[in-house]
Structure 1
Amino acid sequence: MELAGRLQAARDRVPRVDPYGFERPEDFDYAAYEDFLSGHLVVLARRAAKWSELLGGRGRVQKSATLKRYVRKGVPLEHRARVWMAVSGAQARMDRNPGYYHQLLQADRSPSLEDAIRTDLNRTFPDNVRFRTSAQPCLQQPLYNVLLAFGRHNQAVGYCQGMNFIAGYLILVTKNEEESFWLLDALVGRILPDYYGPAMLGLKTDQEVLGELVRRKLPAVAALMDGHGVLWTLLVSRWFICLFVDILPVETVLRIWDCLFNEGSKIIFRVALTLIKQHQALILEATSIPEICDKFKQLTRGSFVTDCHTFMQKIFSEPGSLPMRTISQLRERCRARLLAQG
């Protein structure tokens, strides 16, 4: 009864809806989250003070070793949009193209693009109260606008499933359509090239790159995969397509994105390798393909991924050295192999 009472007390103290509008699931561990939150809030307050001092009254955020260190430790929510816009280059592009976003929204109709986007609107974050049609205001319209503008801007990509979740997170953070559009352009156009094109060659390449990195750094896991003929796309495609949205806790995803916007796509490999290495013993218990798939679902749950501070420290230590030069070489090799396979 004592444990049951503690759980109920935690439920009463922790809101059913998180600060971003997501309803907590039925099996949410309120007691563990409250334990994490007690330390988390102290860290947030300390970081917020340091960020305010760093940014001061500056109009611009300047890239530096200090900024990189601060970003890795987490950007406070009140500064996140400004920092993302600056370090990703989105702010500079928006400044060079005044009015462009609104011109895209007023362009000639694109029926197939519009239909594809509308199909996914109600599927985007059904567990988020701000995206429901009953919400005032409902974020479905800003989401539609951002995706429509992007599809017209980058016609080679248009709209691809998965982009709705990414754009939705951007809107939740920036609360601004135009900034969300330019951040989506930074991600899809520069940070993650070819992830969302019709052939998704960049996405397929990076999944193969992860396989090669696992082969080098975690050979026992690679041997298990090879022994069962498991393709990496079966296990991690949603990690890459959705950038861990709806896979890891929202605070952890935003911390990952802080670094993704600042340091580029290698952050995705660091996160993936850390998840796999941390749970290597669990994965190696699997004796069949269904068991391997189930183990990989378990990697993204529990206290390890909820404690975003410890998790982010781990992604920069657990995988070891991961120079961009190595990733670029592996990408060339994997891309050539995929093209040869047709």
Structure 2
Amino acid sequence: MDNENETGNGPGVNETAKDRIPRIDTYGFERPEGFDYVFYEEFLSRYLVVLTRRAIKWSKLLQETTYVEKSIKVKRYIRKGIPNEHRSLVWMIMSGAQAQMELNPGYYRSILAEGEKNEKLVETIVTDLNRTFPDNVKFRKSANPCLQQALYNILVAYGHHNRNVGYCQGMNFITGYLILVTKDEEKSFWLLDALIGHILPDYYSPAMMGLKTDQEVLGELVKMKVPAVAELMERHGVMWTLVVSRWFICLFIDVLPVETVLRIWDSLFYEGSKILFRVALTLLKQHQAFILEAQNFPDVCDKFKEITKGKFVTECHFFMQKIFAEPGSLSRTTIKKLRERCRLKLITQES
């Protein structure tokens, strides 16, 4: 499709989608090589209409009440997306982070001061700072302000606050996203605590038992929902941890487009970790035929990289509608039973 204006009249003469769409997105990320500017412009023109409509509804809801409580209406609103201007507030309230912050005034600064005395913790975090979002201009040392300082502060504070976890790779990327949304260190700290301490328990502990368990749970769910893919994985001896560990440990950061990740996180903070299964199952169901073309082990791994790219995952509003329809029923009871079974199996294997 050619977006150039060939009439020579008015604005946009000989201007392409690549000229109109900034090379750096709203969040500071550089567009990757091969980015489809024409498709993205078409998507954006549709999505901005959705965002405007959602913003009006959210503004009205937040004017009606000073404290958003969980309800069918709020759940529906969240599934349809939180506008960026309200995202930080809604995440804070829904995750319980706001209540924790209000109950613990001054705690963040005091724990940061204590954490900085832990040389080993500080050294580990500093090593990872430059590896965090090298494609984001806001995290570069030349940026003003450079978000690396806020990232360092939150990770040091959290490492001391939760000594069972300390610092684990993956936490830097999650914290980076929280800073980009909240633009506030203390809020990011409490949201990180909500994620690691409550929503994703044991994902980042030294043994990572929660993470390992959920990867096994996904395997069981695939057997139930997409059996042909489960059979393919088994036939080629591909372990789930090889192809989906980054999906879970980074909560789809650097796997899916930024706006899609933030829409997933909207529901993650409200509905909990089962959202991660919905996303994974939707990717597998949507691309089942493509995955089944794999002829060998490397093929399978390549297919899993490919299914997280392209138009389907960029169209975040449509994608989110799919994750709540495509996998079908996914009850908390089912997830709980599978987790108990998979955890026991892992413990038995490791003992």
TM range (shorter): over 0.9
Residue 3 of structure 2 contacts residue 17 of structure 2 at CA under 8 Å; is this kept in 1?
Answer: no
- Corresponding letter in the other structure for 1:312: M
Alignment match, 1:235: 243
| Match of residue 87, structure 2, among 80, 83, 102 | 80
Instruction: Compute the TM-score of the two structures, normalised by the length of structure 1.
Output: 0.98
- Corresponding letter in the other structure for 2:315: D
Task: Give identity over the alignment, percent.
Answer: 68
| Match of residue 157, structure 2, among 149, 152, 168 | 149
Alignment match, 1:320: 328
Alignment match, 2:136: 128
| Match of residue 55, structure 1, among 32, 40, 62 | 62
Q: Distance in 1 between matches of 2:76 and 2:290?
A: 32
1:95-149 superposed Cα distances (whole Å, 9 cap, x missing partner): 1111100011111601111011111100000110000000000000000000010
Deviation at 1:64, TM superposition (A): 1.1
Map of 1:117-266 to 2, 5 A cutoff?
Answer: 117-266=125-274
Deviation at 1:228, TM superposition (A): 1.1
Alignment match, 1:286: 294
Q: Distance in 2 between matches of 1:224 and 1:39?
A: 37
Instruction: Compute the TM-score of the two structures, normalised by the length of structure 2.
Output: 0.95
Is residue 21 from structure 1 mapped to residue 57 from structure 2 by the alignment? no
The ranges of structure 1 where at least 4 consecutive aligned residues each deviate by more than 3 angstroms after the TM superposition are: 2-8
- Partner-residue secondary structure (3-state), 2:32: coil
Alignment match, 1:336: 344
- Corresponding letter in the other structure for 1:33: Y
1:11-46 superposed Cα distances (whole Å, 9 cap, x missing partner): 111011100000101210000000100101111001
1:159-200 superposed Cα distances (whole Å, 9 cap, x missing partner): 000000000000000000000000000000000000000000
Alignment match, 2:10: none
- Partner-residue secondary structure (3-state), 2:168: coil
Deviation at 1:58, TM superposition (A): 3.4
- Partner-residue secondary structure (3-state), 1:197: coil
Q: Distance in 1 between matches of 2:15 and 2:133?
A: 27
- Corresponding letter in the other structure for 2:34: D
- Partner-residue secondary structure (3-state), 2:60: helix
Q: Number of aligned residue pairs: give it.
A: 341
- Partner-residue secondary structure (3-state), 1:184: helix
- Corresponding letter in the other structure for 2:132: T
Q: Distance in 2 between matches of 1:199 and 1:303?
A: 36
Q: Distance in 2 between matches of 1:29 and 1:83?
A: 32
Q: Distance in 2 between matches of 1:57 and 1:132?
A: 41
Q: Distance in 2 between matches of 1:38 and 1:3?
A: 16
Aligned CA RMSD, in angstroms, stands at 1.2
Residue 158 of structure 2 contacts residue 189 of structure 2 at CA under 8 Å; is this kept in 1?
Answer: yes
Q: Distance in 2 between matches of 1:4 and 1:10?
A: 6
Alignment match, 2:108: 101
Deviation at 1:60, TM superposition (A): 1.6
Gaps of 5+ in 1: none
Is residue 45 from structure 1 mapped to residue 52 from structure 2 by the alignment? yes
- Corresponding letter in the other structure for 2:24: V
Is residue 10 from structure 1 mapped to residue 3 from structure 2 by the alignment? no
Deviation at 1:8, TM superposition (A): 6.1
Is residue 34 from structure 1 mapped to residue 41 from structure 2 by the alignment? yes
Is residue 66 from structure 1 mapped to residue 76 from structure 2 by the alignment? no
- Partner-residue secondary structure (3-state), 2:157: helix
- Corresponding letter in the other structure for 1:93: Q
Q: Distance in 1 between matches of 2:122 and 2:158?
A: 11
Alignment match, 1:268: 276
Q: Distance in 2 between matches of 1:84 and 1:221?
A: 34
Deviation at 1:61, TM superposition (A): 1.7
Deviation at 1:59, TM superposition (A): 2.8
- Partner-residue secondary structure (3-state), 2:173: helix
- Corresponding letter in the other structure for 1:26: E
- Corresponding letter in the other structure for 1:92: A
- Corresponding letter in the other structure for 1:114: V
Deviation at 1:229, TM superposition (A): 1.2
Q: Distance in 2 between matches of 1:63 and 1:217?
A: 29
